[in-house]
Structure formats: structure tokens, C-alpha cells
Structure 1
């Protein structure tokens, strides 16, 4: 069940079926280090910590800005309401997609800490077990036609839920060791009712294939896109 905790200037939303640990402390990497529950980390825009919950493995991410502005104000955002903050929006979007049968990480908890006119944000969500992103896989081997069709089908399922993934690229698509396709990283993504944006998502994904072919010589050819689109059109 989804619950909300509002205490002082902190707003926390969480799934009490997935989180049995200290709700107010679970967004602190130090808390998990003290409990010896850190199982790994990944570097990106800051550090994502992988932690062991009682119910699952999870990823803890603190929201940070990118670009030149991010060097000046690294992790503060202008506050316009709890439900309009980035972590809360991503939590709700992941929950909707997960409930609709789209393969995305289950959201565990999200936090917004208000400070004056600004806020900072954190998200705790499921870590997909034994999964690798397409960039790493395609550096090792080619994908089969069926795998590309499964990717296309999963994107179509996301689009049927009217979710615009504004950063759909091959770093954000995973395959697990059972061949299951997952889509991740829904920060700044949103539901959109109009038509036309779906094409933009797909064009962005195609550009990412082209980019990684030039950058890393991944095992990909133009014909593979046709296989992906066959899965999308089913």
C-alpha cells in the first residue's frame, strides 16, 4: 500500500509492502553503510548506491543537475508543490507502469526535502537483478531478432500507457539473464495524451544506436531496427 509521511519540511511517499526499514533514514547512504547493506554502486550524475532491503535489492539515487548550471547549483530545484517534484513524479510514474504490466523497476520510496523556495530529492527503487544494458551487451554479441522484437513490444506497452520517455536510449534498456526486457530511468518523463511524441521517442532511440556504433563499434546493423519495429507494431 502506498503511504505518505509529512514531517517538518520532508515529504516521503513509500510502499509499506516493500520497505520495512527506517523510513526517515533509508535515503542516507551512511545509514545503509552502518547496517552493512551496501552491495554496490554506480557512477553517473553522482553515485547510485545499491542496497539490500529485506524484500529486494534496491537502487538509491539523489537527484542532481547536469550541465553548466549543475556545477553551480548541483542538487536544488525550484519548489512548486510536492506532487510536482521530480522524485514524487517519477515514483508515481513507475508505480503506474508497474501496475500496468510494463517491465520497469518497482518504486519503493521517494523523498522531497524543502528548503525555502527550493527542494532536494531522492528515490529508492528496485534494482533489476542480473540485468545488463544494451550498450554492454552489444559490445559482446549481437541480439537475436526475437530480442529486438521484445524490446519493441515493451516500448509499445509503455506508449499504450501514454508515457513519454524523454530520454529513451540504449543505456536505459536492459536485458536480464532470463531474456526479459526492462526500461529504466524515468526522471523528467511524463504521461502525454496527444499523438506524435511516440515517434520522437523512437527517433531518439535510433540515434542512440547510431551514436554507440560510432563510439564503441557495437554489434548493430540497420536491419536490426526493422526487427525492433516489428515488435513495436504487433
Structure 2
């Protein structure tokens, strides 16, 4: 991302030891650094499960609200060098948690189907930093991966997935890791999650690469499952949904997610 993000008055910035927190005070007015420590929630009996992926993810249930806490972790070869430390690049707006939080905030305000971002934190030491992000936990049936492991999906659902992806692409949102784990399904909607390293781009071949990446993911997670879990008609239904023009024009939403110069 480039430029400066224009954030609403509800967004607060708070300095902490070695770093800072960015948060939506209208949603988490009582935020403290302890919120980013899963042991804090475990001690209160409010840790509602966890999942291990590219980052360590913890599910929190407190005061009638449900959150997702994600600790940024490295993948690939760099994970052998450091599991959770990233090189400091000269400004907090360039940290992974603050960049993802700001983009997700803009997408949510533009009406796109994403979880509301609640808070982000980084702590800087020497030439590296660590970071975390907290988002709302959506009321969904499950990820696309989980749903396919349970049973086949309807053609209508596949069309809806394609239409959802197209909404993001029309606004220039290039998802860095568009796979079946990062697509969530509810009874009525399709959501995208995990906007770490995502960028806003002009229309280009990256859109096709996004779809190719998703296709590979679907083939991988359905390998060994009954053949009807993912079929060519399913994929064509997704593409049909993707190719349908949106009912509303995206210009107004695009203005909301572009950083100012």
C-alpha cells in the first residue's frame, strides 16, 4: 500500500512499550495490551479454541462478543530463521498488522463482506518487530475448506463465491492468499478474510492468478474426498458468478478504500 489512510474519529492510536496499538474505540473502548496475549483470555476462561495456520489464531468469547486474535507468524524458509519476527522497515504504517488493519477497516467501511477489524499491535526491538491483529469472529457455517469436507455445495453457493471474489477484484483488491481456508460461508453470505500482504492494484493479470491459486487450493483440499465435492460444473458456476456484472457500480466504494496521496 502507498499513501496515507484516512481513518475515522473512532480509530485511536495508543503508544505502548516498544510499539503501539491501533484500535476502533467504538468496538473495543477498554483495549489494553493484555488483549493480545492468549494467556490473558485463558486465565479468564474466555479462550474459545485455537487454530494453527500461517499464523497462530485464537478464538475469544467475552461479554457476549466473539473475537479472533491472530499472531503474525512466518511461513516457508524464513520460519526457520525466526518464527514471528519481521524486519522493521522504517515506519509503523509498514508493519504487517497496521497495514492489514487499515486495509480491512477501509474494506469494511465500504460495505465489503469482511470481518470488522478491532485492534492491531506491534512491538519493535532493534531491526525487527512482532505483531498481532484482532478482528470480529463472524457467525458462519465454516470455511470453504470445512464445508467441502462435510459435503457437496449447491451451484448457487458456487455462484455466490464467484460474485464475492469479483466484488473485491472490481475494487482492485489483490488477495495475497486467496484459498479455500480464507473464504467463509454463512447461510446467507460469502466472506473473505486474512488481508495480510494484500494490495490495491489496477486491473491486470493478477486477477487470473488469484483464481488459479484458488483452483489449486480447491483441488488440494478435496484430493481423496468423494468426487462430487468439487467438480468441473462447480468451478464453472464459480466463474459464471465471477463474470456476472455487479448490480451496483463500485466507484463510490472504491473512493472509500483508496489511500489519500
Normalised by the size of structure 1, how large is the TM-score? Answer: 0.93
Q: Hey, what's the Cα distance between the residues in 2 that align with 1:209 and 1:46?
A: 21
Partner of 1:174: 184
Q: Hey, what's the Cα distance between the residues in 2 that align with 1:151 and 1:117?
A: 41
1:100 equivalenced with 2:113 (yes/no): no
Map Cα deviations across residues 69-98 of structure 1 (whole Å, 9 max, x no partner). 212211111111100110111111111111
Partner of 2:19: 10
1:183 equivalenced with 2:228 (yes/no): no
- Decide which of 112, 121, 125 is 1:111's aligned counterpart: 121
Q: Hey, what's the Cα distance between the residues in 2 that align with 1:64 and 1:126?
A: 20
Partner of 1:48: 57
1:74 equivalenced with 2:88 (yes/no): no
Q: Hey, what's the Cα distance between the residues in 2 that align with 1:211 and 1:180?
A: 24
1:226 equivalenced with 2:236 (yes/no): yes
Displacement, 1:217?
4.3
Counterpart contact for 1:58–1:124, Cα < 8 Å? yes
Displacement, 1:162?
1.1
1:34 equivalenced with 2:43 (yes/no): yes
1:148 equivalenced with 2:158 (yes/no): yes
Displacement, 1:38?
1.1
SS at match of 1:214: coil
Displacement, 1:102?
1.4
SS at match of 1:25: helix
Displacement, 1:157?
0.9
Partner of 2:136: 126
Q: Hey, what's the Cα distance between the residues in 2 that align with 1:93 and 1:143?
A: 30
Map Cα deviations across residues 148-186 of structure 1 (whole Å, 9 max, x no partner). 11111110111122110021111111112x231111121
Count of paired positions: 233
Distance change in 2, residues 1:21/1:49 (3 Å): farther
Map Cα deviations across residues 87-128 of structure 1 (whole Å, 9 max, x no partner). 111111111111111111111000010001111000111111
Q: Hey, what's the Cα distance between the residues in 2 that align with 1:212 and 1:41?
A: 20
SS at match of 1:186: coil
Q: Hey, what's the Cα distance between the residues in 2 that align with 1:147 and 1:101?
A: 20
SS at match of 1:110: strand
Q: Hey, what's the Cα distance between the residues in 2 that align with 1:174 and 1:137?
A: 9
* Greater mean deviation of Cα atoms: 51-60 or 106-115: 51-60
Distance change in 2, residues 1:195/1:6 (3 Å): same
Normalised by the size of structure 2, how large is the TM-score? Answer: 0.83
Kindly report the root-mean-square deviation, in angstroms, between the aligned alpha carbons of the 2 structures: 1.7
Q: Hey, what's the Cα distance between the residues in 2 that align with 1:2 and 1:28?
A: 21
Greater than 4 Å deviation, 4+ residue runs? none
